Amino acid sequence: MQDFNRMPPQKLSYRSKNKKWRMECIDWADKNYFIHNSYTRKSIKNKIINYNLVNGILDMDDVQLVLNPNQIKSSFNPDKIQHYPIINSKLNIIKGEEWGRRFDARVVVTNPEAISEMNEQKKELMMQELEQWITQGIDPEQEGAEEEQQKQLAKIEDYYKYKWKDLREIRANYLLKHYYQELDMALKFNSGIMDAMICGEEIYQCDIVGGEPTMERINPKKIQVIRSGFSNRVEDADMILLWDYWSPGRIQDTFYDVLKESDIKYITELPFGSTSLDNQANYDEEKSYNLLDPWGGEYGEGVVVEGRLGLFGPPMYSYSNITDNLGNIRVLRLYWKSYRRIKKVKSYDPMTGEEDFNFYPEDYIPNKDVGEEVEILYIMEAWEATKIGKVYVNMRPRVVQYNRLENPSRCHFGIVGSIYNLNDSKPYSMVDMMKWYNYLYDVTMDNMLKVMATNWGKIVKMDLATVPSGWEVDKWLYYAKINRIAITDSFKEGNKGAAMGKLAGLMNNQSSGVIDATQGDEIQHYVNVLEWITETMSSMVGITKQREGAIDNRETVGGVERSVLQSSHITEWLFMTHDNVKKRVLECFIETAKAALRGQKKKFQYLLSDGTNKIIDIDGDEFCECDYGLVIQDSRQSQELIQSLDGLAQAMVQNQLMTGSDLIKIKTTNSIAEITRTMQESEARTMQQQQEAAQAEREMQQAQLEQQAALEEGKLRLLEENNIRDNETKLMIAGIQSETNLMNNEANEVPKEVPYNPEKQAELSEKIREWNDKHSLEKAKFEFDKKKTAEELRLKNKQINKSPIKK
């Protein structure tokens, strides 16, 4: 008979770990369903109380500490009060801020061999580019050649320092971003921070389902972490037990590749609400020491305490239902570490004689002829087993061991999480801090509602002796309320005692007729108490009203900003731990993806930040060759820097130092380095554009000066030509006049007719015509040159204004 008090032995050979041994391991976990020996986790009872409180359900036993602090047994204590969830707004503030925080995670290669290969590859590519640049050649005598060389060298250096990435890193980053969106990891992480605030735990699981890597958030109420010491990391545990109730459809979708036909028939034909009573027959009462209270108490979630049966009462049977009332089937998943025997073989290099060490399975036979020496080692190996009702599947070593080459014994189960505790203690979550104030608020509100129910205001005191005969009280109240007339009958005779035979109006009445039942002062007192409770709770957890958006009209802008900043300092520890969990989960997911993609090629369509589609091809075998790590930038300082960069980018756009496309690129990225490089490139491009514009303006001014000088030169040349023409005209006229005077003188002296000389007259007319033609031609040429110069200058200015800006 199996001893259910102890886990089956783990230090066995692989052949001894047969199907029976594996079934005994999962059955042991099934029998000890609520065993828990963690020093750093709160009880399931505490988790249920906190989750119910956030969901609007009060645990009245917990409320009694506030409702009845003196523990007085009284029937006046209410069994139920209304809950007012004032803590939910605080939790939703943190949840909303986590959703709005940028998370910049970049994958980098971490194994030394790949890093050395990357350096060699980078060096080779850089030398090729330098050689190609030198081959193109730049004339050293050319103006600005040295400056151009410096620019090219700086450009190459900048590319290989900041932008160049190894192809494996590029593919890994694309792969991570693809699955980050496909699996809705951002939403799962956002739900995880709620777990951290409610119960102080945040747990995720990475696994392979249907050949694809997956990441799921684990409900802290449905996980048992066994033998984890004082570590606040879930992955350090030696055993983890997950239990849940799944629908038959989900079971089929998850385990379709390992379920037999008989298993499927069993799952589909299970009746609702069936129990595993047959397992109870194998339960040994004499060796069971489970506590009576599996939900918590001094020892947590039902610690197994050996040898103390008399102190804690009779044993408790811990069998469970196979199905619930809705037909969902219990799925029990066990992960544990078992010993594996390996051989460390020392051999010698035949060429150099140096020692070489390698690890081999336990059935390896060393070759003593070549000097191999063997050392037996035991390392830890992660195992898993799943029990679906009474069906056993996946009883095997874990497909992904998550180990490292430098430490073959390092492994975990792909379940990553953190306990938000301090100094190896149990966590004290935000809900644990706030729920007592919420209880006090509920109790105070309940008392105030009771007082408000008795706040009747001014009550009219009615003497029934004055009510007219035949009237009922309801009729009198009707006239008093509707007509506001209090009708009395002062002649109504008394009927009893000393008033027999006397008029009702003659009765001695010392009362004013009105009873004051107003409770305004007491109600205002309760209102003040409620306000004090909310303010005290807000200051205790560090989420002020200003952080929630409630700003008084008397507050200054600087005061509000200071209050919000100080409030963020108080809760920053929560985001720091949460970011560390996200980093470890994504590293685990990459290792899971390596195992899932081994031996196949992954092709998917990736949407880039600028809206373009990119087809990514990943060789699984090449992807698995490297170890990967994550570098994240998500601290408060990073968030403040990003906000400052966003504001600076807006100012640069307004001042035309950055284009709108660059601003969109900045808004669609989470990388501070990429934002900085984008702003630097935009600034450099803007400076280059300004230099080109200044150069174009100088060239235009120079052209205008040259045009002005040409015009002045033309004017001078035209003036000179006009002077020459005038002088020649004057000389010609003077010659003609001289010849005319001479002819006149000769005519006066010799009284005979001077014969007309047509040849001379024709020669003179020809000279005048040639001179006029030459003058007209030179004038037309000058006007043409003037218009040509103006047109060339206009076209040049137009080309400068419309030419594309060089990048």
- Distance from C-alpha of 479 to C-alpha of 473, rounded to nearest angstrom: 10
pLDDT mean values, one per 10 residues, the chain (807 residues): 71 91 91 71 89 91 84 74 92 89 73 52 60 59 61 61 62 84 91 94 92 92 89 91 91 90 90 53 34 37 34 35 84 94 85 80 83 87 93 92 80 93 89 93 92 79 74 82 74 57 53 67 91 90 76 53 69 89 91 85 65 68 67 55 66 71 64 65 74 80 80 76 73 70 60 58 74 74 72 66 46
Question: How many beta carbons lie within 10 A of that of residue 190, not counting itself?
Answer: 16
In three-state form (DSSP H/G/I as H, E/B as E, the rest C), the secondary structure along 694-716 is: HHHHHHHHHHHHHHHHHHHHHHH
Question: Do 252 and 268 touch, CB atoms closer than 8 A?
Answer: no
Token pair of 525 as six digits: 């007192």
Residue 384 and residue 335 in contact, taking contact as beta carbons nearer than 8 Å? yes
**Selection from 417, 436, 437, 424 nearest residue 196 by Cα:** 417
Compute the distance between CA of residue 689 and CA of residue 807 in angstroms, rounded to an integer.
8
Cα–Cα distance for residue pair 47/195, rounded to 1 Å: 9
Query: 205 and 382 in contact (C-beta within 8 Å)?
Result: no
SS3 state at 56 = coil
| Distance between CA atoms of residues 303 and 290, nearest Å | 7
Query: What phi-psi label fits residue 62: left (phi over 0), alpha (psi between -120 and 50 degrees) or beta?
Result: alpha
Instruction: Check residue 679 and give its pLDDT.
Output: 72
Instruction: Output the pLDDT for position 286.
Output: 34
Give the pLDDT of residue 281: 36
In this predicted structure, what is the pLDDT of residue 296? 41
Give the amino acid at 806. K
Helix (H) or strand (E) holding 239: strand 239-246
Residue with tokens 């003188």: 745
Nearest one of 278, 275, 253, 279 to 264, comparing CA atoms: 253
End-to-end Cα distance, the chain: 81
Q: Could you identify the residue written with the tokens 């600034």?
A: 683
Burial of 499 (0-12, 13-18, 19+ CB in 10 A): middle
**C-alpha torsion sign, points 51, 57, 63, 66:** positive
Cα–Cα distance measured from residue 526 to residue 524, given in angstroms and rounded to the nearest whole number: 5
25 exposure class (CB count in 10 Å sphere: 0-12, 13-18, 19+): buried
Burial (Cβ within 10 Å: 0-12, 13-18, ≥19) of residue 90: buried
Continuous segment of H or E residues that includes residue 341 = strand 329-348
Find all residues with CB under 8 Å of 284, minimum gap 6, and list them.
1, 3, 4, 5
Residue 334, strand partner residues: 241, 385
Give residue 255's identity as a one-letter amino acid code: F
Estimate the share of the chain in helix, then strand, then coil, as percent rounded to the nearest 5. 50, 15, 30
C-alpha Rg value of the chain to the nearest Å? 48
* 53 CB-side CA count, 13 A: 29
Interatomic CA distance for residues 455 and 450, integer angstroms: 9
> 63: burial class by Cβ within 10 Å (0-12, 13-18, 19+)?
buried
Which strands, in side-by-side order, build the sheet including 201-209? Answer: 212-218, 201-209, 415-419
The residue written with tokens 């490297």 in the block is: 626
**CA neighbor of 379 nearest in space, from 420, 423, 344, 345:** 344
Residue 477 sits at the vertex; the CA angle it makes with 471 and 483, to the nearest 5 degrees, is 105
CA of 79: how far to CAs of 74, 375, 463, in Å?
A: 11, 68, 39
| Distance separating alpha carbons of residues 418 and 231, to the nearest angstrom | 9
- Which residue type occupies 640? E
| Strands 212-218 vs 201-209: parallel, antiparallel or unpaired | antiparallel
- Position of tokens 């900045």? 666
Query: Which residues does 596 contact at the CB level (< 8 Å), separation at least 6?
Result: 208, 211, 212, 213
Q: What pLDDT, on the 0 to 100 scale, is given for residue 481?
A: 74
C-alpha atoms less than 13 angstroms from C-alpha of 661 in its C-beta half-sphere: 4
Question: What is the Cα 80 distance to its own chain's centre?
Answer: 40
Specify the pLDDT at position 301.
38
Coil/strand/helix, residue 436: helix
CA–CA separation, 624 vs 626, rounded Å? 6
Q: Which residues, listed in sequence order, are joined to residue 108 by a DSSP beta bridge?
A: 629
Pairing of strands 601-607, 391-397: unpaired
Tell me the whole-structure pTM to 2 decimals.
Answer: 0.68
